Amino acid sequence: MRAIIVEDEIPAREELEYLVEAYSKIEVTHTFDDGLDVLKFLQENETDVIFLDINIPSLNGMLLASTISKFSKRPYIVFTTAYKEHAAQAFELEAFDYILKPYDEKRIAAMLSRLESAFKRDHAETLLPEGTLVSHPYPLGKQRENPSQASNRINLKKNDKIIVTDANDIYYAIASEKVTLVYTKEEEYIMPMSISEFDALLPENLFFRCHRSYTINLTKIREIVPWFNQTYMLRLKGLSEEIPVSRSKVKAFRQIMHL
Give the 3-state DSSP-derived string for the chain, with helices as H, strands as E and coil as C.
CEEEEECCCHHHHHHHHHHHHHHCCCEEEEEECCHHHHHHHHHHCCCCEEEECCCCCCCCHHHHHHHHCCCCCCCEEEEEECCHHHHHHHHHCCCCEEEECCCCHHHHHHHHHHHHHHHHHHCCCCECCCCCECCCCCCCCCCCCCHHHCCCEEEEEECCEEEEEEHHHEEEEEEECCEEEEEECCCEEEECCCHHHHHCCCCCCCEEEEECCEEEEHHHEEEEEECHHHCEEEEECCCCCEEEECHHHHHHHHHHHCC
In angstroms, the Cα distances linking 144 to 51, 171, 194, 210 are 31, 19, 15, 19
Residue 124: predicted pLDDT: 66
CA dihedral 100→10→242→166, nearest 10 degrees, is 50
Rounded Cα distance between 151 and 207, Å, is 13
Question: In whole angstroms, what separates CA 42 from the centre of its chain?
Answer: 17
Please give the biggest Cα pair distance in the chain. Answer: 57
Question: 101, 81 in Cβ contact below 8 A?
Answer: yes
Domain boundaries, the chain: 2-122, 147-257
Q: What is the pLDDT along the chain (259 residues), one digit of tens a residue?
A: 999 999 999 999 999 999 999 999 999 999 999 999 999 999 889 999 999 999 999 889 999 999 998 888 889 999 999 888 888 888 788 888 999 999 999 999 999 999 998 888 887 643 334 444 434 433 444 444 343 334 578 889 888 788 999 999 999 999 987 889 999 999 999 998 988 889 989 988 899 999 988 999 999 999 999 987 788 999 999 998 899 998 888 999 999 998 8
Size of the chain in residues = 259
Same fold, 2-122 and 147-257: no
Looking at CATH, the fold of the domain delimited by 147-257 is given as: OB fold (Dihydrolipoamide Acetyltransferase, E2P) (2.40.50)
Amino acid at 140: L
Report if pTM > 0.75: no
Torsions phi, psi for 153 (to 5 deg) = -105, 130
Describe the strand order of the beta sheet including 214-217 as a list of residue ranges. 188-191, 179-184, 170-176, 214-217, 207-211
The dihedral through the CA atoms of 84, 85, 86, 89 has a sign that is: positive
Q: What pLDDT, on a 0 to 100 scale, did the predictor assign at position 204?
A: 85
Tell the CATH topology of 2-122.
Rossmann fold (3.40.50)
User: Nearest 10 degrees: CA dihedral of 8, 11, 14, 20?
Assistant: -90
